Amino acid sequence: AQSVTQLDSQVPVFEEAPVELRCNYSSSVSVYLFWYVQYPNQGLQLLLKYLSGSTLVKGINGFEAEFNKSQTSFHLRKPSVHISDTAEYFCAVTPMNYGGSQGNLIFGKGTKLSVKP
Amino acid sequence: NAGVTQTPKFRVLKTGQSMTLLCAQDMNHEYMYWYRQDPGMGLRLIHYSVGEGTTAKGEVPDGYNVSRLKKQNFLLGLESAAPSQTSVYFCASSYGGRMDTQYFGPGTRLTVL
């Protein structure tokens, strides 16, 4: 079974400052990793995903994440945030091996990013 | 393209009442999912479907039923609503399985009194 831990439930930051949202996972098999963003009163949309290859993944809106297999982490970063980045961010994993499930995502509990002027 | 749409957007039920949530997608996706989102809990999978006529249980299926009679539609039913089912419900779809992006609808906020 897989589990995802998002270490911070809330992250306040000032506009134009850098931000890192932390995600650690637990799994006995290799996983695919995702970050989704949920803007207020909306559904989720994909920011980026790691399937294979380079461990540094670039996504939309200037976000990037680095997969660290030894530390089982997939932290999300942005060098300079904007007010419009205020949202809730979810880390998610799914096992690479078939294992009987059809690609079901296991989500973390979310991190609320609040960007202040 | 409308993407993934959900009907209704809001609903208030009394304990014991039944209702059906409708999800529709126009992207010709094979996979469809129903999640519930509760504060501090993230999203939890209720049921999913890997194609027309198929359904399967997710992490929290009790008290819900689903049907996928048409490829583009995925219905979530509550036969006898309970206050514990107060939540925001999201439908999602994807072209393939585990490595594919899921596209989410705007959600349905359900309150059970």
Cα–Cα nearest to B104, from B47, B53, B33:
B33
Q: Is the CB of A49 less than 8 angstroms away from the CB of B101?
A: yes
DSSP A51-92: -SS-SEEE-GGG-EEEEETTTTEEEEEESS--GGG-EEEEEE
* pLDDT tens, position by position, B15-44: 999 999 999 999 999 999 999 999 888 899
* Six token digits for residue A47: 């920011």
- How close A103 comes to chain B (CA, Å)? 3
Matching residue, tokens 């380079």:
A54
Half-sphere exposure of B90 (CA within 13 A, CB side): 21
- How close B43 comes to chain A (CA, Å)? 6
pLDDT in tens, chain A (117 residues): 889 999 999 999 999 999 999 999 999 888 999 999 999 989 999 999 999 999 999 999 999 999 999 999 999 999 999 999 999 999 999 988 755 555 588 999 999 999 999
> Could you check whether the bond before residue B8 is cis, i.e. omega within 30 degrees of 0?
yes
As a whole number, mean pLDDT of residues B80-102 equals 93
CB contacts of A4 in chain B (<8 Å) are: 42
Give the length of chain B.
113
Neighbours of A56 (CB within 10 A): 11
pLDDT at A99: 55
For residue B112, pLDDT over 90 is answered with yes
Rounded distance, CA A73 to CA A65, Å? 10
* pLDDT tens, position by position, B53-85: 999 999 999 999 999 999 999 999 999 999 999
